[in-house]
Amino acid sequence: MRFSILLICGRPSAHRCVSVIKIMSTEVLLKHWPEIRRVVERGQFSSLYCSIASVGEDGTPTVTPIGTVFLGSEPSGFFFDRYTSDLGKNIDANGRICLLAVNSGKFFWLKSFLLGQFRSPPGVRLYGTAGPLREATPSELGQIESRVRSTKWLKGNRLIWSSFTHVRDLEFTSFRPVSYPAMMEHLWQ
């Protein structure tokens, strides 16, 4: 991808190059969105969370685990914000975020090492913005309910998830695969 961006850019000024990269990134993001969505779902399922990076008003970076990211058919989604502290404050001051999802399933890694190849991308980073806190819609509440239904009879389910009522919207504009130099040349074509 970088190679093709360089070919298009030639050796122009840095400013022009950045704008070309942005256009390319959005196009490439749209092309790969169904795959990206699957990678985030597998990452969240295997690790129990995605990492969302944000930056404080004084420039301090932080990373927050969030287990309730839901992505849609477009490069957007939402997450339930109930317990965040710095993440919420940072987003309210500066909505720019980076979301990281990594497939940490033991079986996935064992199979990949046996085959000498990742059959699906091991991880992805999504760049974009998160919006203000808003009340979740009935459909969004339905999505969290069905995700945690299997543990409904456990005490922790009620303690943690019964108060999830508010969400923040996510909009993505670009992405970067998580890459290892080997075992994944065939991916992200």
- Would you tell me which residues interact with ligand FMN (CB under 6 A)? 48-49, 62, 64-68, 79-87
Continuous segment of H or E residues that includes residue 118: none
SS3 85: coil
Which one, 80 or 118, has the nearer CB to ligand FMN? 80
| Helix or strand run (H / E) with residue 154 | none
Cα–Cα distance, 150 to 157 (Å, whole number): 9
For residue 66, the one-letter residue type is I
Contact 103, 50 (CB under 8 A): no
Which residue's CB is nearer to ligand FMN, number 21 or number 147? 147
- φ/ψ (deg, to 5) at 4: -65, -35
The least distance separating ligand FMN from the CB of residue 52, rounded to whole angstroms, comes to 8
Give min distance, CB of 184 to ligand FMN, in A: 26
Q: How far is the CB of 159 from ligand FMN (least distance, A)?
A: 13
- By C-beta, is 85 or 139 nearer to ligand FMN? 85
Q: How far is the CB of 119 from ligand FMN (least distance, A)?
A: 26
- Residue 128 CA to residue 97 CA, distance in Å, equals 6
Q: For helices 2-9 and 14-47, what crossing angle results, to 10°?
A: 170
Task: Count CB neighbours of 1 within 10 A.
Answer: 13
CB of 65 vs ligand FMN, minimal distance in Å: 4
User: In the complex with ligand FMN, which residue's Cβ is closer, 100 or 184?
Assistant: 100
